[in-house]
Chain A
Amino acid sequence: MAGWTVGKKVLATALGMGATGGAGLYVALDESVKADLTLHPPKLPWSHKGPIDSFDHASIRRGYQVYKQVCAACHSLKYIPYRHFVDVFMTEDEAKEEAAEIIVRDGPNDIGEMFDRPGKLTDYLPMPFPNSAAAAYANNGAVPPDLSLMVLARHGGEDYLYHLLNGYCDPPEGVELGEGQHFNPYFPGGAIGMAPPLYTDIIEYEDGTPATQSQLAKDVITFLSWTAMPEHDERKKFGMKAMLVLIPFTALCYYKKRQYWSLLKSGKYVYNPKKY
């Protein structure tokens, strides 16, 4: 190895790393088929997935409509206040009107009594059940999880949720389901307490978009992506600006470094033995 050229050494290193990585990848792929009984969701071309892609705000608005008319019966969005809707997919007046549809317990008033009032922008989306025990009782023992962070809280994110909503099918031969359970190959274990929630034309979109099952799923998941990542659009915009500064600055620093070092890098050491 001492006599090897740089190219040979690089090749040997690359081959070694490639062999190690390849062996590891083979084992991982092989085992991933055997060890896991859950179907992995295929990747989908979400419109907001790219590094410079923003949310489809019309889709967020439709998705809120789906949530409100379908999902809100069982699932809460306890981290989302109505004021977050403003300038995202509703005007301030629309958001106020939306908030005013709910009744909120408030108080105490001047005489010490609790009272009910219409919702305001500062209120959070209402909980469908007063507590988790009531939620479990109403849903065959399974508590419908809060959806505010669901896109971030599951492996596969949007892809998993989309395929979960659309992936219901009859259980395969030999699979026993409990009473009230349904089979979904994407759900860990296969047996899910939620019945298929979406079907074509379950609601009518206010903007006239055909409410097919896949459209409903796509919109509600885009909405849930927004609830989990409200900073998404600003984050990517900020990122583009940062890269516009960082990349030229890096190039400039690299140039100046090479310029300062050029004298040392082009130096030569010459041995002039003494002539006696």
Chain B
Amino acid sequence: MYKASRFSPLASVIRHTVISLPTPVNISTWWNFGSLLGVCLATQIFSGLVLSLHFTAHTDLSFYVVIQSFGDVYYNWWFRALHANGASFFFIGLYLHIARGMYYGSYVFKEVWSVGVVILLLVMASAFLGYVLPWGQMSFWGATVITSLFSALPIIGSDVVIWLWGGFSVDNATLTRFFGLHFLLPFTVAGLAGLHLFFLHDQGSSNPLGVSSDFNKVVFHHYYVLKDLVGVCFFVGPLLGLVYFYPWLLGDPENFIEGNPLVTPHHIQPEWYFLFAYAILRAVPNKLGGVVALAAAVLILFYMPFSPKTSIKGLSFYPWGKVLFFSLIGVFILLTWAGSKPVEEPYVVVSQVLSFLYFFYFLLIGQLTRIQDKLL
């Protein structure tokens, strides 16, 4: 009989991960986002599982089934609102978690950082696949626009698109495979999150000062269990506020119209968390160039561990580095705004300038910190 004693492997893993884990005493609120993302992932998997019990992945039925479930399945409106808004909060957490990593130099943990970027890519893919499932206008046309981007690949492009679609346009075959993939990917993300933590716990968390904290650590429980719980409360509060009082604030009204291949919406745009990448995609007048820029906007994060090393980890003690970093935040927010605008002047020029500034950060930050290091 299996005895769960303090020496059992499972109890040992739990103890070393969340109970007796030595954690720096001075990590700030920015370090809460890791656990918050875990909570988001669990919420999305749980609410998604419940929604999948009442979902049919067929072009004739998907939209109808999703709408009908509001009135006919007890509390399905809650799970749908939680899942839709939970995705937005997932991305808020992701972007803040990455921003923390960029600011405090967490990318020096190469394995942790690389697994984290893979998680980001998979979560973005999962969010895109999930948005297609209700089969509204924006679901259908968003799927059409993004899958069509693969036709820009030289030689094999058009074949890749037909293979992705499962036919000659976005249709039932596309919807069913998107449902299967959307169901599968979060479990892959969960596994990668475990790997992410495994690599992190090999070295231990960094801290805002960027120095070694080996001489001053505390146990994770109760200190950081309670701190993370407070973080969860402050994060879940606004999420539930949206779910209960303004469930469709972040959504697009077009997605309450059933997908119609014969009627194109005036403004095809993704959800807010993809708008920065959408702006970068549309800023390049060439199709392949735009696709490369779109991919580079996210893949450039893989470069961070190979950027020039600084004497002091992070940007806390680099004033011009901080100015550049917060400019990047401003550029990111403005790119998100620009992505929601139509492809007209002056938004085209604004997107192009902002896209340049976005990539320029990654080139300039290493040089700026190196100049200050030389002055020391």
Contact = CB atoms under 8 A, between A and B. Distances in A.
B245 A239 contact: yes
A246 B237 contact: yes
Nearest to A150: B256
B153 to A, nearest CB: 34
Given A20-B330, A230-B70, A35 B245 contact: no
Contact of B240 (A239, A260, A264): A239
Interface string B332-376: 011001000110101100100000000000000000000000000
For the complex of A and B, 5 pairs with smallest distance between CB atoms? A239-B244, A250-B233, A153-B256, A231-B77, A257-B226
A117 interface: no
B247 A235 contact: yes
A229 B247 CA distance: 10
Dominant secondary structure at the B interface: helix
B326 A236 contact: no
Interface string A131-163: 000000000000001001100111101000000
A79 B233 contact: no
B334 A153 contact: no
A270 interface: no
Given A13-B326, A79-B68, A152 B256 contact: yes
Contact of A51 (B243, B245, B350): B245
A154 B254 CA distance: 7
Interface string B219-239: 000110011011001101100
Contacts of A127: none
15 contacts: A1-B319, A2-B319, A16-B330, A27-B346, A31-B347, A35-B344, A79-B68, A154-B253, A155-B253, A229-B70, A236-B245, A242-B244, A246-B237, A250-B237, A260-B226
A24 B248 contact: no
A271 interface: no
B71 A230 contact: yes
Contacts of B244: 235-236, 238-239, 242-243
Contacts of B319: 1-2
B257 interface: yes
Interface of B: 25, 64, 67-68, 70-71, 77-78, 81, 218, 222-223, 226-227, 229-230, 233-234, 236-237, 240-241, 243-248, 253-254, 256-257, 266, 319, 326, 330, 333-334, 337, 341-342, 344, 346-347, 350
B73 to A, nearest CB: 10
A188 interface: yes
A253 B67 contact: no
A253 B25 contact: no
Contacts of B350: 27
B334 A24 contact: yes
B253 A152 contact: yes
Contact of A31 (B25, B68, B334, B346): B346
Given A31-B346, A254-B233, 20 more contacts: A20-B334, A24-B337, A27-B350, A51-B245, A79-B67, A84-B71, A148-B67, A149-B256, A152-B253, A157-B253, A230-B70, A231-B77, A238-B78, A239-B243, A239-B245, A242-B244, A243-B240, A247-B237, A253-B226, A260-B226
Nearest to A21: B333
A249 interface: yes
Dominant secondary structure at the A interface: helix
Contacts of B254: 153
Nearest to A155: B253
Nearest to A16: B326
B253 to A, nearest CB: 5
A231 B77 CA distance: 7
B330 A235 contact: no
Interface in A235-266: 235-236, 238-239, 242-243, 246-247, 249-250, 253-254, 256-257, 260-261, 264
B315 to A, nearest CB: 12
A253 B233 contact: yes
A157 B248 CA distance: 11
Contact of A253 (B230, B333, B334, B344): B230
A231 B245 contact: no
A242 B245 CA distance: 11
Contact of A242 (B67, B222, B240): B240
Contacts of B226: 253, 256-257, 260-261
Interface in A1-29: 1-2, 13, 16-17, 20, 24, 27-28
B281 to A, nearest CB: 20
B95 to A, nearest CB: 16
Nearest to B245: A51
B67 A250 contact: no
A226 B344 CA distance: 37
A188 B245 contact: no
B368 to A, nearest CB: 14
A136 B257 CA distance: 18
Contact of B223 (A28, A242, A253, A260): A260
